Structure 1
Amino acid sequence: MSRRSLMTAVGVGGAAAALSGAPSADAGGRTGPFADAVVAAFGRHRLVAVGEVHGQQEHHDAMQVLLTDPRLPEVVDDIVVEFGNALYQPTIDRFVAGPAVENDKLRLVWRNTTQSPAVSLDAPCYEQFYRTVRAVNWPLPASRRIRVLLGDPPVDWSRVRSRKEVEELDRDGHMASVIKREVLAKGRRALIFYGSNHVKHAPPGAIGGGGIAQIEQQTGERAYVILAGGHPRLASAARRAVIPAAGTWLATADSGEFGYLPGECGVPFGALADALLYLGPIGEQTQSVWNPAIYLDPVFWAELQRRNHLMGDHIDLDKQYRQPQSVAWPVSSYPTC
């Protein structure tokens, strides 16, 4: 889709949402669309964190709708993401601001994270995220453009010679430092897309935890946390609805019984998050799957093999990346405690 087509669609979508009369997940605790909930949360918080379900197509579809909501640039200054190596911050700053960036340089942002080679970020949903932010920024004045902050620790794989060099990197500590330095210290507001374990609140009395828990404990700045998940009781709920925990059954529901949410049996959902994003029944979720032809590039493949050897040869690279993968979500039933 061209930039013009995308922005035209955004305008139509925004108008439709405004006319729908759908209730918002506002301070009154009502259930409503994802974008409404995020915009309302920024009225009370400087940090709104969304637990990204890695590679899930429905979650990234919801993210796309949120990113293209015309209200977002009014409430968000920065978007902090897990799926980008901070070593390439200048590259992504240039790209989302509009100037051209060659594809071979842009790909390094998501290909060279600390999670390589065990986790591939060549699934199309990740590149689409960056291109969507660029398209959203295109018609905006420089003062209103959204900046993307890459939250994965800066690692130069061309210099890595041992597994220890990667394992010693503090991923949550780096995330927290980026948000404190680039967002809070500058009086800005940030939307945060990270895996749920990194953004959930620490249970009462717990010390440490993921990046958001560390920020809350170190600065006193309370984030509004939305975790994506499914539950049998939500079968009749609207897709992409956000349901607040306060004042609902979610406050005391066992977090270990939610699908595609890394909860903990015995810990109430309301202790970990402020709201839940429902994406539909777990059996209907799908994956964003990479094109296996990507890994026929001999130079890239040799580098993945080198990394795999450094990290202990735990991955069958050929089976994982060069063989076609089903788009079906690998888990089709809800967990129980």
Structure 2
Amino acid sequence: MTIIRSMITRSFSSAATIRSLRVCVVGSGPAGFYTAEKMLKAHEDAQIDIIDRLPTPFGLVRSGVAPDHPETKIVTNQFTRVAHNERCSFIGNVTLGSSVSLSELRQMYQVVVLAYGAESDRNLGIPGEDLRGVHSAREFVWWYNGHPDFCQLAPDLKNTDTAIVLGQGNVSLDVARILLKQPAELATTDIASHALAALKESSIRKVYLVGRRGPVQAACTAKELREILALKDLYVNIKQDDFQITAADEEEMKNSRIRKRVFDLLAKASLSSQTHPTSGQPELHFTFFRKPEKFLESNDRSGHVGGVSFEKTTLKGSAGSGSQIAVGTGKYEDLKCG
């Protein structure tokens, strides 16, 4: 702690003799670097220190972006130019609250910007959430991206052929794609070596992407959806009954080109999919109008998840009032998984 404080103090003292505006940005992800970049451009007298609890910068770009999306990570070139600015410094391995306190930073700097993001998960608050095999997206994504906090997560991918992903946004599609993509293709990306080794031995062949609402309200982008639908030899299953849209659905698509494009892609995929998967073929099942009620323990009572109980939903509300919400119907369905 003393060494870290002295490093920051030296940086501060050096800045104090030359510059008049001293800024500390806590967090070196996109928010932190964009803040630093704007401050450097807007204030010619600003000296900026970016601190982070990790030894490496770039936050979400490094640990949140899928390893097979290198084009998204190109933004790190821009952040690197910011860090190389003579009026900017990056200091890693500094934890706010233990290495240095907020009050100490406020004494040393004229401006302190807290840009460290959200590093905790919001629990669903349903029974069985603590069963082994139930992971948050943050944990799983940090695992395959090599974040030091979750390198030892070791999800069990060998003893089941089925995974359920709750949600249908871009991160959900990332998780499903990583589970279903050929390891040989992932080997050419910057995926963490421990994750690649586990995926090479994975038995997962079937992934369910489950959403509370319908295909009109799917939260992913058309680009992400096209990418997963284009996976080699993928069987896609979407029930035709889910495409019975209402006037409120039509209004939502009228007001959002993104939702219209996503809906059209899902509809096309449902019409063009084969009747049944072939043996060993990877399967992607889009499941709509379901909300999780509880996680089910496996039959061997080992404390490991064995499935999810869902309540079927219907939509209420109108597009004019904002968006339609999913409400339970009192009918239930279980899906097995590991």
TM-score (norm 1): 0.23
> Greater RCO between the two (CA within 8 Å, min separation 6)?
1
TM-score (norm 2): 0.23
Task: Answer 1 or 2: which has greater helix percent.
Answer: 1
Considering only CA atoms, is the larger Rg found in Structure 1 or Structure 2? 2
